[in-house]
Structure 1
């Protein structure tokens, strides 16, 4: 619901969850507190996805697929945009740590020959999250593993016939 309408009311969220809004308010004193908990859960899931992918030690092709698969699952489970919470210093710091980890992995993947060198600065780093976001929304019938196949194939081989 929050992905479709970030301004949705607590009452609507409670109705969708099948509980009374008082139940929600017993756990969260305000809408902002509820949103913070949701964003915290998404951020933690992203951090867990990165850790599980073993970006520093797994073979780069394996790590790339695992990371993409994990993030697609996160995007489907927690389809909310963290941008609204990035004004919070701790959230911003945690997100930046995740970005640095993925950036370092993409540099490693380039250095090991999986990704083509010489692309415009930051292009791969900008493209990969967009592909994951797109496949999570546009191909919902695919499992996270199947969706990761699409993303990785697109990233590595593009859309051309050759």
Structure 2
């Protein structure tokens, strides 16, 4: 794909994420306008609104995979958690579509794989004594995901580093 075509597809996907998050019933012309391209540009790459939306979900998952790979490494757990949280807030703001209820089998499979990678990291946090070991299965992961979503989407005035610190502090210590 040519460089300008690649840039156009990227612009369309990012615009579509914002447009569909704001209006789940938005149409391709709405996305094209938000991306600053002609609607024919969108239709050349995506045959339907559903195909475009699926491409947005896949792009968000690509970004999440890269974030997990680059942050949840061998560094100290709290430091890795902060890096992930800051990146997660940025990612959620750039790609605000919700992939939790997507029915596509590939998207679901990838979500399960990413949740497993996150859960493995949270086991490290548990082993380090930062997360309680007596929580129901999946509780820590869902709590972290919910806090990240809340900080990113419902508290836009918080800068990503500030939001990350708040999320990690609340995740590790609660609000009491």
Distance 1:42 1:125 in 2: 18
Structure 2 distance, partners of 1:88, 1:137, is 24
The match for 1:157 is 173
Aligned to 1:137: 153
For residues 9-46 of structure 1, give each alpha carbon's deviation from its aligned partner in whole angstroms, at most 9, with x where no partner exists. 11111122222212211222211221122111100000
Partner of 1:80: 97
What is the number of residues matched between the two proteins?
Answer: 158
Aligned counterparts of 1:139 and 1:94: Cα–Cα separation in 2 = 28
98, 115, 119: which is aligned to 2:135? 119
Equivalent position of 2:84 in the other structure: 67
Map 1:46-61 to 2 at 5 A.
46-55=64-73, 57-61=74-78
Shift in Å, 1:84: 4.6
The offset of 1:101, in angstroms, is 0.6
Instruction: Provide the secondary structure at the position in 2 that maps to 1:3.
Output: helix
For the aligned residues, what is the CA RMSD?
Answer: 1.5
> Is 1:29 matched with 2:43?
no
Q: Which runs of 5+ in 2 are unaligned?
A: 1-18
CA deviations 1:47-70 (Å, max 9, x no partner) are: 001001134x22111111111111
TM-score (norm 1): 0.89
SS in 2 for 1:72: helix
Q: TM-score, normalised by structure 2?
A: 0.83
Aligned to 1:147: 163
The answer as to whether partners of 2:72 and 2:121 remain within 8 angstroms in 1 is no
Structure 1: stretches of 5+ with no match in the other structure: none
